[in-house]
Structure 1
Amino acid sequence: MKKLSLFIFVIGIAFFSCQKTGEFYKIAGETQGTTYHMIYEGERPKLKKEVDSLLQIFDLSLSTYEPYSTISKVNQGNNVEVDSLFIQMFNKAAEVTKHSDGAFDITVGPLINAYGFGYGKQETKIDSALIDSLLQYVGMNKVKIENNHLIKENDNVQLSGNAISQGQAVDFIAAFFQKQGIENYMIEVGGELAVKGLKDGKKWRVGIDKPYEGNDIAGQDLQTILAITDKAVATSGNYRKFYVRDGKKYSHSIDPHTGYPAFQNILSATIIADDCISADAYATACMVSGLKKSQEIVKNVGLDAYFVYSDDETGEYKVWYTDAVKNMIVEN
């Protein structure tokens, strides 16, 4: 299952079936090993079939859980022809890698699998020898696209779209909604979401969970609530997606530089951007980078952010957010 670190809960919306509420409709389902929830205003109450068909097309490009998807074929071989969705993902990943100084890297596939957070077999023993052997296959300089084919420096290079593809799926469905003339909607896939327009005449309310172990139900204990419209939001954190083995804690946020889980002072990183593919990828990059570097990243790229972090001196939970987010906060 894709990373479970994105726990944004849309206030006041429960998705259990397709039902009409005034002029708004709700649909829900499964994709990419996770779930989706959507609410939209329009004249067509039965878009679920079309949404499911589009998400199936998306999965056949970028889901590592589909053995015949484009990304699975890339991981199984070399010089593989790739489609437009894959190329979009690859180009955005390369951009985020550059702007985060390598904190985000889709070639961490071998490491993700070794730790048991990916599609491959989990290693029974994780030590420095194993990590060193896998790091030789990590790095965006080891892959390139030429004439719509993905070329790998070594056949053992493996790609993981876990930290970017669900955000991209949100954008994919948002483009479909916009073609349908839908002006007010919320689209959420695996925790990443995009909102447009208004709900009941108000901006969409988005809750961010408090990042502590044991807060396992989205929306149960919120850190804050934001009022947002015409934006995409993604949150990454290590407080749910981890495991303990032999007394050591392993989180899903892997530092591509070291090959080990990144335990920085940021406990959760929420990114607000114009598109969800960017919000998704940069949220992961910030979890790996830590507070100071993440502040630089969002400033340089022009993103808005809400970080919950642990004070290095006192250990207390603190928050930091960009100026624009201050006007979005409706409840602390």
Structure 2
Amino acid sequence: MKESSNINANKKKWAWKLPFLIFLIAGTFLIVKKQQSIPFQHDKGFIFGTAYSIIYQYDHSINNEIKDELQKVDECLSIFNRHSTVSHVNDNTPTKINDMFTYIFNLSQKISEDTDGAFDITVAPLVNAWGFGFKNGIYPDKATVDSLRKFTGYKNVRIKNGKVIKENPGIMLDFSAIAKGYGSDVIANYLKGKGIENFMVEIGGEIVVRGKNEKQQEWKIGVTKPTDDSLNTSPKIQTVISLTSKAMATSGNYRNFYYRNGKKYAHTIDPATGYPVQHTILSATVFADNCATADAYATAFMVTGLDKAMTILENHPELMAYFIYSDEKGKNAVWHSPALKDKIQK
């Protein structure tokens, strides 16, 4: 009798549990179905002198709001905007810096310190002197390089009491190697703030992804194969990497270079020497939790070279990298962080 009583008790217990489970499963199905029925928006435009492409799952386009958010970054960090905060700082015009400027400045200085100055937001005068800014083909001599180095050096600038203090008034700040990544972060955070779970933000090749794509899969991001196609008329994909909830940025010298006396000079300038770097890395792609960090480290690794970049990565388990470099025979070779192994699709 006792066994029969237990069976009846179990039946009664499941009698009220079963409808609840059915309701729960049906509710979950409807939520998923509704989520899948929401369209993906594809917005494009131009900012920071480059193109942006943003794909996100939402019931309508919010491209105007996206433009407004990007404009805030432009008005703060763009050296091409004569009225931006950084332009006023460079002109030594008294100006009040905001939280955005302070955040990017401090992050830049932190990464400069971590990479022994390979990343340096004061290197612009040297970049321009080498002709990459104006493409004038007139290369600086040693005296010119030495004189310009007096106006560079991340340790010669700091923030104090809400103001930028420069050791030399001729020092100029250039956030170009971190601003696009930061812009991608700004839009990613804006989309998350609106409850958008599935999106890809790309500004000039600097990317943030979250959730899944339109095929309900992780986002598939291509890494461009290094070529001597300076106009990028026929880009080829080196590999495809599967990502979600991650940021990615790439820096490469293979589309911006010139030959002199039989040598190939990269567009990346070594702040320590004032001259273009010459080593085997052709492309550095970095993965991080935010795109500003990925952007800055990708630039730094183009300066440090492969061995030092790998040493830095050992001290930063939160970072991953994919390097394309030229081996001893002059052929393209690849090194990537072990954690990327399962993410590489081809």
TM-score (norm 2): 0.84
- In structure 2, give the amino acid aligned to 1:26: H
3-state DSSP of counterpart to 2:227: coil
Tell me the equivalent position of 2:105. 90
Deviations for 1:236-277, whole angstroms, at most 9, x for unmatched residues? Answer: 110112345787654321100000111221110010100000
- In structure 2, give the amino acid aligned to 1:135: R
Say if 1:78 and 1:151, in contact at 8 Å, map to a contact too: no
The range that moved more, 156-165 or 76-85, is 76-85
1:170 correspondence with 2:187: no
Q: Which has the higher contact order (CA 8 A, sep 6+)?
A: 1
Tell me the equivalent position of 1:141. 155
The range that moved more, 109-118 or 57-66, is 109-118
Tell me the equivalent position of 1:24. 40
Query: For 1:282-321, what aligned pairs fall within 5 Å after superposition?
Result: 282-302=297-317, 303-311=319-327, 313-321=328-336
Which one of the candidate residues 160, 180, 193 is aligned to 2:194? Answer: 180
CA distance in 1, matches of 2:49, 2:304: 27
CA distance in 2, matches of 1:301, 1:24: 35
CA distance in 1, matches of 2:107, 2:169: 22
CA distance in 2, matches of 1:69, 1:216: 30
CA distance in 2, matches of 1:107, 1:80: 19
- In structure 1, give the amino acid aligned to 2:181: G
Provide structure 2 residue ranges, at least 5 long, that are not aligned to the other structure.
1-36
TM-score (norm 1): 0.88
CA distance in 2, matches of 1:317, 1:185: 32
1:54 correspondence with 2:69: yes
The alpha-carbon distance between structure 1 residues 121 and 88, as it changes in their structure 2 partners (threshold 3 A), is: farther
- In structure 1, give the amino acid aligned to 2:55: I
Say if 1:114 and 1:122, in contact at 8 Å, map to a contact too: no
Say if 2:158 and 2:166, in contact at 8 Å, map to a contact too: yes
CA distance in 1, matches of 2:308, 2:237: 26
3-state DSSP of counterpart to 2:345: strand
3-state DSSP of counterpart to 1:35: strand
CA distance in 1, matches of 2:230, 2:218: 26
CA distance in 1, matches of 2:261, 2:168: 33
CA distance in 2, matches of 1:77, 1:122: 27
Provide structure 1 residue ranges, at least 5 long, that are not aligned to the other structure.
1-20
Tell me the equivalent position of 1:256. 271
- Report which of the two structures shows the higher radius of gyration computed on alpha carbons: 2
Superposed displacement of residue 117, structure 1: 3.5
The alpha-carbon distance between structure 1 residues 78 and 248, as it changes in their structure 2 partners (threshold 3 A), is: farther
- In structure 1, give the amino acid aligned to 2:307: K
Query: For 1:106-121, what aligned pairs fall within 5 Å after superposition?
Result: 106-118=121-133
- In structure 2, give the amino acid aligned to 1:316: K
Say if 2:286 and 2:320, in contact at 8 Å, map to a contact too: yes
Tell me the equivalent position of 1:326. 341
1:280 correspondence with 2:292: no
Say if 2:131 and 2:138, in contact at 8 Å, map to a contact too: no
Which one of the candidate residues 280, 285, 307 is aligned to 1:270? Answer: 285
The alpha-carbon distance between structure 1 residues 84 and 246, as it changes in their structure 2 partners (threshold 3 A), is: farther
Query: For 1:123-272, what aligned pairs fall within 5 Å after superposition?
Result: 124-199=138-213, 200-214=215-229, 216-217=231-232, 220-244=235-259, 249-272=264-287
CA distance in 2, matches of 1:195, 1:262: 31
Say if 1:78 and 1:150, in contact at 8 Å, map to a contact too: no
CA distance in 2, matches of 1:195, 1:159: 29
1:36 correspondence with 2:36: no
- In structure 2, give the amino acid aligned to 1:183: E
3-state DSSP of counterpart to 2:315: helix
CA distance in 1, matches of 2:263, 2:97: 39
Superposed displacement of residue 164, structure 1: 0.6
Deviations for 1:272-315, whole angstroms, at most 9, x for unmatched residues? Answer: 1000000000000000000000001122122100111112x322
Superposed displacement of residue 201, structure 1: 1.2
Tell me the equivalent position of 1:17. none
CA distance in 2, matches of 1:93, 1:123: 30
The alpha-carbon distance between structure 1 residues 47 and 117, as it changes in their structure 2 partners (threshold 3 A), is: farther
The alpha-carbon distance between structure 1 residues 167 and 108, as it changes in their structure 2 partners (threshold 3 A), is: same
Tell me the equivalent position of 1:64. 79
3-state DSSP of counterpart to 1:220: coil
The alpha-carbon distance between structure 1 residues 84 and 236, as it changes in their structure 2 partners (threshold 3 A), is: same
Say if 1:215 and 1:221, in contact at 8 Å, map to a contact too: no
Identity of aligned residues (%): 44
Tell me the equivalent position of 2:13. none
